[in-house]
Amino acid sequence: MYQYEHIKLSDYVRSGEGGQGVAYTHRSEKRLAKLFNPGFDADLAVKEFEMARAACDLGVPTPQPLRLITDGERVGTEYELIEHKRSFCRIISEEPARMEEISLRFAGACKALHAMKADTARIPSMKARMQAFYAREGVVPDCLKEKILPALDQIPDTPYCLHGDMQIGNIITAGGKDLWIDIGQFAYGAPEWDISLCWRVSQIADPRMTDRLFHLTPDQMKRHWEIFAPAYYGVDPEQIDLKIKQLLPYSVIKASYMRFITYHEPVPEDLARRMAEAL
């Protein structure tokens, strides 16, 4: 059974913020603490820790998870600190001329991860994770659930690795190595689960949100997708619209799940109806 170790925040310096929590760097040791926002289920930290360990054991390039932690109010995981690191989105923000280079590197990293065979006895299926979520009561209105559960039955399951929250803010580089971070949603299955999220975040039109999450503008996010997608799929840009149509069911299905684990709120009825119509 896993135990949470108490930390003193006075030993850390706040160093980043994401959709689910806050990151802190230890003042003297090479440690990075990620604490989920207040109210998050403690099991979420345990699952992230387990998935990070499983990914490391498979050889996925990712920081080593060290221990489960709590500050008395929040829970999270502590990782090895990767010094002098920069996220891919931070590089594009600070050096816009490198947009194509970084987007192409991101495509290569995604393809490499999706080619890795998963340990299916230890790592969950993304399809099964979504089926379990939509089978729960009180998280998704019936109008959406009734369309999604049959659609999930038709989605293939493949035994290859998925990041689970794949987007350009969740990969860093340091010392010539590119590393995946925030790997708590690690799973196996069809790569469309990951690529649909890459597409969806590229469509965010709110400049405040894209700046807070990615340090980029909406136009930069769209341009990143335009470079990334043809490179990932190995097709001409003119063929990407067809790929997007194939991604839509995955995007709609996963959107409710990501909303729930981020905000702990069920999908509103009006939004659920619009999502159902998109399937």
Query: pLDDT tens digit string along 220-240?
Result: 999 999 999 999 999 999 999
**Arithmetic mean of pLDDT, 121-135:** 95
Q: 157: pLDDT confidence band, cut at 50, 70 and 90?
A: very high
How many separate domains does the chain show? 2
- Tell me which residue range forms the domain holding 46: 5-80
Are residues 177 and 65 part of one domain? no
Q: Is the pLDDT of residue 78 over 80?
A: yes
Q: Which residue has the tokens 């990951």?
A: 194
Are residues 119 and 136 part of one domain? yes
In terms of phi and psi (left: phi > 0; alpha: psi -120 to 50; beta: otherwise), the region of 218 is alpha
* Separation between Cα atoms, residue 259 and residue 229, nearest integer Å: 24
At 34-49, the pLDDT tens digits run 998 887 777 878 988 9
Query: Looking at residue 72, which CATH number applies to its domain?
Result: 3.30.200.20
Catalogue the E-assigned strands of the chain.
5-6, 12-17, 21-26, 31-36, 65-70, 75-80, 86-87, 161-162, 171-174, 177-180, 187-188
**Arithmetic mean of pLDDT, 254-265:** 86
* Final residue in a domain of this structure, among 56, 80, 104: 80
Which pLDDT score is estimated for 1? 63
Q: Is the pLDDT of residue 10 over 70?
A: yes
Are residues 74 and 97 part of one domain? no
Query: Looking at residue 140, which CATH number applies to its domain?
Result: 3.90.1200
* Separation between Cα atoms, residue 46 and residue 7, nearest integer Å: 17
Are residues 57 and 75 part of one domain? yes
Q: 251: pLDDT confidence band, cut at 50, 70 and 90?
A: very high
Are residues 96 and 71 part of one domain? no
* Separation between Cα atoms, residue 216 and residue 90, nearest integer Å: 8
Q: 185: pLDDT confidence band, cut at 50, 70 and 90?
A: very high
Q: 55: pLDDT confidence band, cut at 50, 70 and 90?
A: very high
* Final residue in a domain of this structure, among 80, 104, 139: 80
For the chain, the average pLDDT equals 93
Q: CA nearest 225: which of 214, 246, 236, 240? A: 240
Q: Which residue has the tokens 């293939």?
A: 156
Are residues 150 and 235 part of one domain? yes
Report yes or no: 110 and 195 within 8 Å, Cβ to Cβ.
yes
Are residues 150 and 114 part of one domain? yes
